[in-house]
Amino acid sequence: MRMIPHSRPTIDQGEIDAVDAVLRSGRLAQGERVLEFEKILASLTGAGGAVAVSSGTAGLHLSLLALGVGEGDEVVIPGFVCPALLNAILYVRALPVLADIDRETFNIDVRDLKRRRTEKTKAVIVPHMFGLPADIGEIVALGVPVIEDCAQALGSRYEGLPIGSFGVLSVFSFYATKVICTGEGGMVAANDRHLLEKIRDLRDYDEKDDHRLRYNYKLTDLQAALGLAQIRRLPVLIERRRAIARQYDAFLRERRLPAPACPPDREHIYYRYVIRTKQVAGLLAAGEEAGIAYRRPVFKPLQHYLGMTGYPRTEKAFIETVSLPIYPSLSDAEVEAILHSLRSVLK
């Protein structure tokens, strides 16, 4: 059997045909496909509108700018995330404030968030980690502007409402191995038209009446065509993820090991299937021997980059978690190979 990667995109003939049609049209840059993609994403999340951008990181950057976050302001984020959030905060010369995570869900811990906020807190970025919604209702109720980071959770729901419909701004990523992919790309959704217009203005620097610092953060029609084909298959893609997760759940139950948490008021899409184990090294080694790419779900917590301490639940998650391959193009035979490998380690 070929090497089973930790992640890979799921592309079918419909998506190839959609991209081919744009190539044959000769209109490759930002255009009608991008506008259509924006409308469909906004409709899916219940937002008043959306602006396509070149990446999720670009979306975070422009969201902070639209909210007026700048030098000396504080932005609270969890530490158990990739550096994209940290980078976006530093782009606007603001101060990152790290919060610890909830032990069960790996999302930002609301109690610790309350302790970390100050009079200088200008925003909170709330990622929905691994496809499971955070306690977004409780966080929004704190009254601090919330940017939802939906990069890993497109299609999930909290209390029956779609993720991306709670924050002042919501940011999505369409990187090659995200829930839907455009290679690179992202989107910012919101109900506030004024904020959306700020972001729309900032994503492109050309043909403006005035000069100010703007960016080249556009999405292309080539990327949007791929995204449109993917988003129309979103329910099928998510159901395949859940079907694989059910097999992993059953395996763990047989061994009386904990499966990933999913509180009853939210829906998990299983962008990642993250397990806790004291045998991380053994599992990583067994995967390498079997040709299966198990990974740590977060390469390095942000406090390690920043030289900070005092985040015990984040540290514990970093030490004791492994992410199993889970994506729609994972075949039944590959799932069985993964389960066989797990049996050799998780006794």
What residues are annotated to the active site? 178
Q: Residue 157: how many CB atoms within 10 A of its CB?
A: 16
Question: Are the C-beta atoms of 129 and 106 separated by less than 8 Å?
Answer: yes
Separation in Å, CA 304 to CA 142, 227, 307, 310, 322: 28, 35, 5, 11, 18
Task: Please report where in the chains the tokens 């009254």 appear, as a residue.
Answer: 143
Strands ordered across the beta sheet of 161-162: 161-162, 157-158, 266-267
Nearest Cα to Cα of residue 31 among 199, 186, 225: 225
Report the alpha-carbon distance of residue 60 to residue 77 in Å, rounded: 12
Ranges of H-type helices in the chain: 13-25, 32-45, 56-66, 84-91, 110-116, 136-140, 193-202, 221-231, 234-254, 280-290, 302-306, 312-320, 332-343
End-to-end CA, the chain? 24
Per-residue burial over 318-347, b = 16 or more CB atoms within 10 Å of its CB, e = otherwise: beebbbbbbbbebeeebbebbeebbeebbe
